[in-house]
């Protein structure tokens, strides 16, 4: 499939009005390029691992609209064919009309180019390269392990559409805490396992067995691929799809008073209702490692309060960037 890209140069404050205006003529799904820094709340809501290096905001924005290009050279908009240049003229007319209303849309220029089928996944390769979590090397499939790193613990993982890669600070906070407590006898429960990174690394660190839970069925192939790519026996990792907070069936499948470590790298708003439930899955003396908590007094307090109200003892709080991890323990008696 081929596409025609209409790339509009404008100003950041005009993004919404232009997107809304062009939606009315059949253009949907704008890809926005700007340099507006993400707020802490946006980072929390997105929870993405891979972001390009941020640059200073210069107020300039580019809006990219991709329209299907037919074999006859015309573009298809709302089921009707039109010449690419005619659509460009319609877009320009809409932009000129906004200017007539004294709206500052900046340059308002339009670039037009055809492009082959858009490979959204592989586009991330330009941003994602190997990196280190302390002495652990995390590397994608398209890179070779550096000679000097071949003796390190190596996690092979590629960025995907739904789950993380280990680059996110919250994931790294969890990995460091797991490393402190994992033993050859560890039974570990990973709530919200996603790509299975935490469980897989736990097995690589010597854990006996891992159970992961997730709401998203896409976790099944993601975990399977990552187990295979890292040479980890799939028998050591069981995956349960469902909501462990609200579904008794999922709680039963996970098992009770079974785990030496429970790790939950989610968000504070999920950790609060999760905590009183997950205590039942923990052995006496088990460790509860949480992350995905924005480093502000309110969210950290709420997670710690949920832990103490559930009868857990706070062991440690660690920080990295804008995030924190709270580790608690279930009393021995």
Q: Distance between alpha carbon 93 and the CA centroid of its chain, in Å?
A: 38
Distance CA 15, CA 113 (A): 21
Instruction: Write down the pLDDT at residue 39.
Output: 58
The SS3 call for residue 271 is: helix
- Residue 241 exposure: Cα atoms within 13 Å on the Cβ side: 9
Q: What is the mean pLDDT of the chain?
A: 88
H helices present in the chain, as ranges: 15-23, 40-46, 84-100, 169-181, 197-204, 219-229, 248-254, 268-278, 297-309
Distance CA 250, CA 121 (A): 32
Lowest mean pLDDT among 56-70, 111-125, 147-161, 210-224: 111-125
Contacts of 136 (CB under 8 A, 6+ apart): 152, 153, 154, 155, 175, 201
Distance CA 222, CA 2 (A): 29
Instruction: Write down the pLDDT at residue 40.
Output: 56
Mean pLDDT of 274-285: 98
Lowest mean pLDDT among 52-61, 137-146, 241-250: 52-61
pTM of the model: 0.67
**Contact criterion met (CB below 8 Å) for 219 and 199:** no
User: pLDDT higher for 220 or 120?
Assistant: 220
Lowest mean pLDDT among 30-44, 45-59, 184-198: 45-59
Here the tokens at position 146 are 């550096």
Strands 109-115 and 80-82: unpaired
Mean pLDDT of 40-49: 47
Instruction: Write down the pLDDT at residue 126.
Output: 65
**139 membership: H or E segment, kind and range:** strand 136-139
Instruction: Write down the pLDDT at residue 127.
Output: 61
pLDDT class for 130, splitting at 50, 70, 90? confident
| Residue 178, beta-bridge partner list | none
Here the tokens at position 137 are 């090397």
Q: Tens digits of per-residue pLDDT, 132-178?
A: 999 999 998 888 999 999 999 999 987 654 456 667 888 899 999 99
Here the tokens at position 112 are 């037009």
For the chain, give the percent of residues with pLDDT over 70: 87
User: pLDDT higher for 100 or 255?
Assistant: 255
Q: Distance between alpha carbon 317 and the CA centroid of its chain, in Å?
A: 23
Instruction: Write down the pLDDT at residue 45.
Output: 43
Here the tokens at position 43 are 């980072």
Domains of the chain: 2-118 (3.30.70.120), 162-329 (3.40.50.150)
| Residue 75, beta-bridge partner list | 69, 82
Distance CA 174, CA 202 (A): 11
Name the CA dihedral angle for 201, 276, 311, 325, rounded to a multiple of 10 degrees: 40
The SS3 call for residue 264 is: strand
Lowest mean pLDDT among 44-58, 202-216, 265-279, 319-333: 44-58
**Contact criterion met (CB below 8 Å) for 265 and 308:** no
Lowest mean pLDDT among 70-79, 124-133, 140-149, 296-305: 124-133
The SS3 call for residue 297 is: helix
Contacts of 113 (CB under 8 A, 6+ apart): 4, 5, 7
DSSP conformational letter for 52: P
Mean pLDDT of 209-219: 92
pLDDT class for 49, splitting at 50, 70, 90? very low
Here the tokens at position 289 are 């490692």
Distance CA 308, CA 328 (A): 9
The SS3 call for residue 121 is: coil
Lowest mean pLDDT among 28-42, 215-229, 294-308: 28-42
φ, ψ (nearest 5 deg) of residue 323: -125, 160
Mean pLDDT of 297-325: 95
Instruction: Write down the pLDDT at residue 142.
Output: 82
Here the tokens at position 205 are 């660190």
Closest Cα partner for 47 from 164, 197, 200, 191?
Answer: 164
pLDDT class for 51, splitting at 50, 70, 90? very low
């Amino acid at each position: 499939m081929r596409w025609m890209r209409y790339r509009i140069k404008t100003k950041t404050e005009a993004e919404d009005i232009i997107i809304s205006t062009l939606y009315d003529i059949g253009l949907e799904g704008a890809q926005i390029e700007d340099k507006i820094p993400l707020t802490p709340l946006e980072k929390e809501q997105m929870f993405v691992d891979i972001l390009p290096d941020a640059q200073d905001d210069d107020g300039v924005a580019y809006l990219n609209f991709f329209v299907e290009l037919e074999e006859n050279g015309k573009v298809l908009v709302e089921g009707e064919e039109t010449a690419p240049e005619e659509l460009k003229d319609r877009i320009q007319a809409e932009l000129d009309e906004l200017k007539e209303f004294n709206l500052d849309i900046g340059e308002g220029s339009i670039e037009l180019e055809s492009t082959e089928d858009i490979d959204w996944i592989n586009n991330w390769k330009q941003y994602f390269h190997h990196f280190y979590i302390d002495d652990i090397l995390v590397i994608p499939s398209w890179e070779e392990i550096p000679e000097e790193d071949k003796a390190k613990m190596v996690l092979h993982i590629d960025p995907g559409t739904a789950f993380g890669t280990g680059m996110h600070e919250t994931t790294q906070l969890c990995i460091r805490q797991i490393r402190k407590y994992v033993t050859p006898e560890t039974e570990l429960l990973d709530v919200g396992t996603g790509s299975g990174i935490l469980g897989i690394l736990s097995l690589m660190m010597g854990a006996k067995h891992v159970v992961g839970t997730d709401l998203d069925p896409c976790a099944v192939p993601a975990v399977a691929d990552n187990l295979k790519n890292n040479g980890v026996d799939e028998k050591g990792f069981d995956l349960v799809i469902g909501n462990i907070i609200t579904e008794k069936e999922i709680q039963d499948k996970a098992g009770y008073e079974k785990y030496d470590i429970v790790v939950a790298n989610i968000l504070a708003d999920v950790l609060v209702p999760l905590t009183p439930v997950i205590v039942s899955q923990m052995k006496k003396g088990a460790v509860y490692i949480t992350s995905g908590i924005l480093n502000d007094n309110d969210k950290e307090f709420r997670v710690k309060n949920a832990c103490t109200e559930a009868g857990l003892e706070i062991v440690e709080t660690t920080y990295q960037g804008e995030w924190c991890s709270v580790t608690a323990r279930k009393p021995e008696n």
